Amino acid sequence: MNEITLFGFNNLTKSLHFSLYKLHYVGNQSLDYNRFIKERFSANKLNSVLTTICHAIGGNVLNIAKQDYQPQGASVTLMISEELPAQHVTETESIVAHLDKSHLCIHTYPEDAPQDGIAIFRADIELSTCGIISPLKVLNQVIEAFDADVIDIDYRVRGMTRDKQGNKIYNFDQFDNLNSFLSTDITQSYHISEHHFRKQNLFHAKLSRKNVMLNDYLVEKNTDDFNQALQRSICSKITKEIKQLFTNSE
């Protein structure tokens, strides 16, 4: 039986969680929006995104579970190892490797009852790793892949390991804030709020887009389909929604 060697294995579990909100102006085109979401965020396309993320952190996909839902929405879960590619591992061994090592999953929550012509799409992503893989490497990649307007990020390290001298270690990564892992393009494009509890190894950041460009929010339409007054009105509504999602307010 082929077994996966736990290279670099330790008892530190690093969990990175995203809630990403993307807004769309759909007006009264609910059917067009449903079709758009199904095409852009199908289980197959999400699987492609997650597989790219897995490889970006130096992981190999062991097993994949994916599902599309009606009327819309999808879920994908990847089991990850740091070493052997999937073809060398049986299904039973994949489950063991998943429990011992890492997983990456996504669930989408498209709004099925848009309010005032604006639909809110949310993607929930969790990346949990052990060993030498660091999920913080993909912060920028995840944000860019979903082009989200509001991003809620939680990072937590659990457990402990030891160095060669037997001293306890509760976190390998030494950093001041999650902001330090973000690209210049992202820090310039978003308002960022951070709250950390370093002693507990808890880190939180929330981002909201600074500038609203109407074309980025239209489904099967462009700005030429609206007069200037309506364009300003739609942008104002979108900006208000982004602010509410950022502040958790009405």
Task: Annotate 208-242 with three-state secondary structure.
Answer: EECCCCHHHHECCCCHHHCCHHHHHHHHHHHHHHH
Catalytic residue among 42, 102, 128, 208: 102
- With H, G, I as helix, E, B as strand and everything else as coil, classify residue 108: strand
Give yes or no: 54 in active site: no
Give the list of residues 6+ apart from residue 85 with CB closer than 8 angstroms, or none: 60, 61
Query: Residue 23 pairs with which residues in a beta bridge?
Result: 120
Task: Tell which residue, 20, 14, 30, has the closest CA to residue 220.
Answer: 30
Any idea which of 37-41, 112-116, 125-129, 234-238 has the lowest mean pLDDT? 112-116
Sequence length of the chain is 250
Give yes or no: 130 in active site: yes
Whether 7 has a pLDDT exceeding 50, the answer reads: no
Higher pLDDT, 34 or 119: 119
Q: Which ranges in the chain belong to alpha helices (H)?
A: 30-40, 43-56, 91-100, 139-146, 184-189, 228-247
Distance CA 3, CA 38 (A): 38
Give yes or no: 196 in active site: no
Whether 79 has a pLDDT exceeding 60, the answer reads: yes
- With H, G, I as helix, E, B as strand and everything else as coil, classify residue 136: helix
Measured CA distances, 210 to 2, 110, 149, 207, 249 (Å):
51, 23, 9, 9, 18
pLDDT tens string 10-56:
678 889 999 999 999 988 777 678 888 888 889 999 999 888 888 88
Task: Tell which residue, 209, 152, 165, 173, has the closest CA to residue 14.
Answer: 173
The long-range contacts involving 86-89, CB below 8 angstroms and separated by at least 24 positions, are 86/60, 86/61, 86/62, 88/2, 89/2, 89/4, 89/62, 89/63
Average pLDDT over all residues of the chain: 83
Catalytic residue among 17, 19, 75, 107: 107
Catalytic residue among 54, 98, 130, 208: 130
Whether 5 has a pLDDT exceeding 50, the answer reads: no
